[in-house]
Structure 1
């Protein structure tokens, strides 16, 4: 089971046009010599979503198929460690990339895009090393239970995993900008193959829980290999591309400074809010409830990985084009995505809420039946996430990062404070999960309300 990040958002039928409606051809990126590179081939957003979904289904489908085997190779305590590890590296990757992956979509031309990439890669190296040193120096303070002691033992894996995730997001953003959906599909397929292969292989070799942790980095590395093989930019018209200068890098940072200064902290709060409940469960309810919650949320996140990420990537590409070209299409694209995602996700959410416990025990084994009860409680919350997460990119596209930052701060307080209060009052782990689910529904409803507000204000 993969470490699925939401900021990638991870951090994506957003740009889908109604049947029979022609979709405007996106503009090509203007190259350094003034000539335009060939624009992406004409392709409706429906086709873009379909291509990305196909690649993601191939990759994530392997993870879904492997889940019953992984549930028997690894125990709840292993998945508890994986979730805490995933939180640490996801937060580190947000800091490392400075959210410049979002700025890539708004860059004016190839030269500026390369300058943004250069800044993001430099930040990745510095932050990855800093995280490694800080973790080693402070481990004696935070390794206070078995799960965190396991994280301390695996800390050597944190810097390379942070780096590979940050680079993966930066380079994927170039493909999103150019609306190269087929290349995004190939990246997703290889990522899933690498993750599933590593986690299964290391699991059969008896390397638990290390195999789960290694799978994250191996999967992203496989996706990067796919991106590198296809190349990032078309050949320049002049035959040779000039190197990016330090001045161009500084100019790009100045132009997009709101992304490092504001969006980084928004994404940081988002990731902390996403993973803090697992740390809270680890410190309050213990390893097994943390592992059950981690296993459940990872499994429920797979539909979002298969469809939601594809939608988010297409939405970001077409939404950025609409924003750059001032076509006025962004509100229509947004609410079309919301409606179609809601219809698509309602049926599975209802089925899960009815038969979750029975299905988990049957498919994954008796030790995971409690996780199925968690899934019943979380079904509506993950439907809300499935609908709201892709269109949350609107707040970045219209550069209302301050609004997003404020809401993420509220969300963080709620996802930590409410379950903690339930525990203080003597509530069971089921009560804690129910409280967490309620907070998620409220927070994603708030995202949709904010998106409506900023679009209404123009």
Structure 2
């Protein structure tokens, strides 16, 4: 066991995950430390409106660059990658403006669902959150490509510090959920600026100047991402975030608030840790596909095994302590969130594992599999909530049905990732330049 742990700490992949996860852990500890204050400054209904706002933003973030940012790690040349990034940023500007205008004109039904008549006034904040969030999402692709994991890690806690500082500050200045929403805008901006500086420095240093011809060529070369990944990512986002909106519409914003707090306590730490693993996995697997394809399947298998064991430990602890701890930590209004955490445990474990290696489909350029999986998943997840509503089930039963349906969807996702990578299972190791074939094979066996 000690030898296994020692080998793990020497593993390049593991060290990169730790670097990224450290920023995630610090950011989550900061958020968790302030949540008992936040939940006493804002009630469940206000938190529910805020969760609807962030859910809409998260859904629309899947559209802001037409999924071109997912291709930034793939080209061999930095010049091509930088042209993809420039293309993505231009699309993001246009889509942020269109998204904000769309929210303005849909304010009527949103106000009815959220029981928040002033929601039309928030449309400018939708534009800013989309703009800042979209730029950050796109620029992350460059940092992942260049393996700037330490710098990327720092943006996690600058985001969290900006978020909670603004939410605490504005709670005394504005009534209702506006303070929470302004905090979201500040948090997204807090992580963006360092990423922008890193990319611009590389562009200047390596003379990665982009022309319209480069942008058009890159847009055509990686057209499968908007053609297939865009639809699948949008469906994925709907499956994750639309339930919050539906719970608010069906059972009231206070239920959405309980659900959102449960997700914050259990889901957000696991999701952000997964994103750290996923970013390193994406970087490593992209390089392996180009230069050492025999290492792809062992990387996939090792990542699934390790992330499952880690995730299982987190879920077991949270499921057992949450129901009794929530009312004490966050106030008596929030006790039902603890029950929701227990209901969501299995779902988050399956999400933890499936999403860690979910970029396998993108690296293999098998976006068709991703699309099929998302169509099935959205149907069963949203179908579960609609069935609960129209058969007269209570809110907790609806959450349970959602959890079980989502678990099935994530298991399907994991199976499809395995389907995309299994063809590399029995590849012989390729000899490195200057080495004998036998030496290369020995290295592959060691992997």
User: 8 Å contact 1:95–1:264 — kept in the other structure?
Assistant: yes
Per mean C-alpha deviation after superposition, the further-off stretch among 250-259 and 329-338 is 329-338
Quote the RMSD (CA, aligned, Å).
2.2
User: 8 Å contact 2:232–2:374 — kept in the other structure?
Assistant: yes
The aligned residue for residue 349 of structure 1 is 315
Q: 1:151 to 1:261 in 2, by over 3 A?
A: farther
Tell me if 1:173 matches 2:149. Answer: no
Aligned residues: 421
The aligned residue for residue 47 of structure 1 is 15
More helix by share: 2
- Shift in Å at residue 230 of structure 1? 3.9
Tell me if 1:439 matches 2:427. Answer: no
- Shift in Å at residue 362 of structure 1? 1.5
Tell me if 1:315 matches 2:281. Answer: yes
Q: 1:206 to 1:168 in 2, by over 3 A?
A: same
Q: Is there any run of 5+ residues in structure 1 with no aligned partner, and where? A: 1-15, 24-43
The aligned residue for residue 63 of structure 1 is 31
Pairing 1:234-383 to 2, within 5 Å after superposition: 234=202, 241=207, 243-383=209-349
Q: 1:416 to 1:260 in 2, by over 3 A?
A: same
The aligned residue for residue 444 of structure 2 is none
> Within 1, Cα distance between the matches of 2:144 and 2:335?
39
Tell me if 1:430 matches 2:418. Answer: no
Tell me if 1:151 matches 2:139. Answer: no
Q: 1:371 to 1:235 in 2, by over 3 A?
A: closer
How far does the alpha carbon of each residue in 1:286-335 deviate from its partner, in whole angstroms, 9 at most, with x for none?
12111111111122123224522211111111111111224321221112
The aligned residue for residue 360 of structure 2 is 394
Per mean C-alpha deviation after superposition, the further-off stretch among 434-443 and 136-145 is 136-145
> Within 1, Cα distance between the matches of 2:380 and 2:131?
30
Q: What is the TM-score when the length of structure 1 is the normalising length? A: 0.87
The aligned residue for residue 103 of structure 2 is 135
The aligned residue for residue 162 of structure 1 is 130
> Within 1, Cα distance between the matches of 2:377 and 2:347?
14
Q: What is the TM-score when the length of structure 2 is the normalising length? A: 0.89
Q: 1:441 to 1:271 in 2, by over 3 A?
A: same
User: 8 Å contact 2:267–2:348 — kept in the other structure?
Assistant: yes
Per mean C-alpha deviation after superposition, the further-off stretch among 145-154 and 180-189 is 145-154
The aligned residue for residue 431 of structure 2 is none
Q: 1:17 to 1:221 in 2, by over 3 A?
A: farther
Q: 1:389 to 1:242 in 2, by over 3 A?
A: closer
How far does the alpha carbon of each residue in 1:100-139 deviate from its partner, in whole angstroms, 9 at most, with x for none?
2211001221211121111111111111121222232343
Q: 1:108 to 1:419 in 2, by over 3 A?
A: same
Secondary structure, counterpart of 1:320 in structure 2 = helix
How far does the alpha carbon of each residue in 1:6-64 deviate from its partner, in whole angstroms, 9 at most, with x for none?
xxxxxxxxxx99817987xxxxxxxxxxxxxxxxxxxx122211111222222221101
- Shift in Å at residue 233 of structure 1? 5.1
The aligned residue for residue 123 of structure 1 is 91
- Shift in Å at residue 231 of structure 1? 4.5
